[in-house]
Amino acid sequence: MQDKEETIYLCPPVFRPPSEAYSLLIQLTEGCTFKCDFCISNLRKKFLVRDVKLVKKDLDIAKKQYGSNVKKIFFLDGNAMVTPTEKLLDVTRYAYTLFPNLERCGVYAHSKDILKKSDEQLKMLYKAGLKIAYVGFESGSNNLLEMVNKQVNKSDHIKASKKLMKAGITLSATLINGLGGGNNSEMSKEHAAESADLVNKICPDDDRIWYIAFLTLMVPSGTEIFKKKMKGEFLEMNSFEILQELKTFMNQIDFHNKNANCIFRSNHASNYLPIKGILDRDKDKIISTLNYGLTHRDILRPEFYRGL
């Protein structure tokens, strides 16, 4: 049995990207400084940046427990990039002194958190070992971003992505399929077109790896979007509308750099149809898969298996 003092502190519920499933999770912040209508990340948590001494103590415990097995660290919580740069640098550097095989540290970041840091600060973070940031784009449509209270616009997303890439930090961004709701084909087309345009515009000139993923909207209890649904003001899209929207997005992907290495995924537990590929090289293949899903609805993930 572990001594109580030897437990790494976590403030539940814990959310981390699927690709950080085997990472050491370290609670650097709690909650989030934003309050997007669809998100449960900050519903039960008051935002705070934890005392660096406590974070280092957790890293010390992890060193004793996992030592050289730690290859990746993910600093929780919803937007840990908002942490003052000195503190983020301090804990990141400290982690590298403890774990000889540490390859990268990562955080969730709202685009506004990235924009608040200078190029120099981002570069220092990258050099210290903060190698990946998971950014929630959700949409490229300014109308939709405003509708869900994202507190950011398409141009902010473009500037933040370019700034992040310039510093060397890998961008992993998510968009939400079905965010505009059902029975709203105009909004769906706008969401798809503006999101494709956003992704086209951030495509770098080189062949570095970057990630774009589509999740499918879930409506968790307690969120603003859930309240709207209960009042009949928000209708969820059906699986057909979801795939159609993704197809409209994919049709409008057109990178100026044909050697781009954009890893595209729509294989999260919330998605109806698992899709993976490299953009824009695999665009036609992905569209064929979507066409198959649109005509064979029996292969789609059943509603009760979907989750966040």
Ligand X SMILES: C[S@@+](CC[C@H](N)C(=O)[O-])C[C@H]1O[C@@H](n2cnc3c(N)ncnc32)[C@H](O)[C@@H]1O
Residues near ligand SF4 (CB under 6 A) are 32, 34-36, 39, 41-42, 78-79, 110, 136
**Which residues inside 250-279 make contact with ligand X, applying CB under 6 A?**
270
What minimum distance in Å lies between the beta carbon of 63 and ligand SF4?
28
Contact (Cβ atoms closer than 8 angstroms) between residue 268 and residue 216: yes
Binding mask 126-145 for ligand X (x = CB under 6 A): --------xxx-x-------
CB atoms within 10 A of CB 208: 13
Give the count of beta carbons closer than 10 Å to the beta carbon of residue 204.
18
215 contacts which partner out of ligand SF4, ligand X, none, CB within 5 to 8 A by kind?
ligand X
Q: Does 38 bind ligand X (CB under 6 A)?
A: yes
What is the SS3 assignment for 164?
helix
111-137 as b/e, with b when 16 or more CB fall inside 10 Å? bbbbbebeeebbebbbebbbbbbbbbb
Query: Which range in 38-46, 193-201, 275-283, 298-306 contacts ligand X by CB under 6 A?
Result: 38-46
Residue 70 binds ligand X (CB under 6 A)? no
Q: Identify the bridge partners of residue 75 per DSSP, sorted by sequence position.
A: 26, 107
Closest to 234 (Cα-Cα) out of 144, 155, 304: 144
Between residues 36 and 279, which has the closer beta carbon with respect to ligand SF4?
36
Beta strand 130-138 with 48-49: parallel, antiparallel or unpaired?
Answer: unpaired
Out of ligand X, ligand SF4, none, which partner does residue 163 contact, by CB within 5 to 8 A per kind? none
Minimum CB distance to ligand X, residue 206 (Å): 24
Partner from ligand X, ligand SF4, none contacting 135, C-beta within 5 to 8 A by type: ligand X
User: Quick one: 99 or 188, whose CB is closer to ligand X?
Assistant: 188
Three-state secondary-structure class, residue 283:
helix
Q: Are 146 and 179 spatial neighbours (Cβ–Cβ below 8 Å)?
A: no
Which residue in 130, 218, 246, 262 binds ligand X (CB under 6 A)?
Answer: 218
Q: How far is the CB of 86 from ligand X (least distance, A)?
A: 21
Q: Which of 172, 174, 239, 289 binds ligand X (CB under 6 A)?
A: 174
Closer by beta carbon to ligand X, 134 or else 249:
134
**Taking Cα atoms as reference points, which of 90, 96, 92, 133 lies closest to residue 115?**
133
Contact letters for ligand X, residues 72-101 (x by CB under 6 A): ------xx----------------------
- Closer residue to ligand X in complex, CB, 84/220: 220
Beta strands in the chain (DSSP E): 24-27, 29-30, 48-49, 72-76, 104-109, 130-138, 170-177, 209-216, 261-265, 276-279
Cβ-closest position to ligand X = 136
By a kind-dependent CB cut-off of 5 to 8 A, residue 187 interacts, out of ligand X, ligand SF4, none, with: none
Q: How far is CA 157 from CA 124, 151, 242, in A?
A: 21, 11, 23
Shortest spacing between CB 35 and ligand SF4, in angstroms: 6
CA 46 to chain centre: 21
Residues that bind ligand X (CB under 6 A): 15, 32, 38-39, 41, 78-79, 108-110, 134-136, 138, 174, 176, 215, 217-218, 220, 270, 308
